[in-house]
């Protein structure tokens, strides 16, 4: 592929970024609730965290699969080589 950016790669990369940011926010909230001793709310957020980790894994898998199939990430060869191992 040429040196132009692949819209699908950028969309998938943005999705991974958003999922990781959500994990940061959810983990911070989970810690606050835990420290406050609200274990009922903690349990609910803990389940949300488990689901969010799964969503993050699926997003990374989609990015990885796309990069393997399309090899359309110019300038990222070394990173993607390690990312796909």
Q: DSSP labels for 17-80?
A: HHHHHHHHHHHHHHHHHHHHT-HHHHHHHHHHHHHHHHHHHHHHHHHHHHHHHH---TT-HHHH
pLDDT of amino acid 2: 43
pLDDT of amino acid 1: 40
Q: Which two tokens stand for residue 40?
A: 């009922």
Rounded to whole angstroms, the Cα distance separating 24 from 22 reads 5
Q: What is the pLDDT of residues 49-58, one digit of tens each?
A: 999 999 999 9
Q: Is the pLDDT of residue 73 over 50?
A: yes
Residues 6+ positions from 61 with CB-CB distance below 8 Å: none
Average pLDDT over residues 15-40: 97
Proportion of the chain above pLDDT 70, given as a percent: 80
pLDDT of amino acid 71: 80
């Amino acid at each position: 592929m040429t040196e132009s950016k692949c819209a699908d790669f950028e969309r998938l990369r943005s999705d991974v970024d958003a999922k990781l940011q959500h994990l940061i926010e959810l983990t911070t909230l989970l810690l606050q609730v835990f420290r406050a001793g609200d274990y009922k709310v903690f349990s609910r957020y803990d389940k949300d965290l488990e689901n969010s980790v799964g969503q993050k894994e699926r997003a990374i898998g989609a990015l990885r699969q796309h990069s393997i199939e399309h090899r359309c990430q110019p300038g990222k060869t070394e990173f993607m080589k390690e990312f796909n191992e």
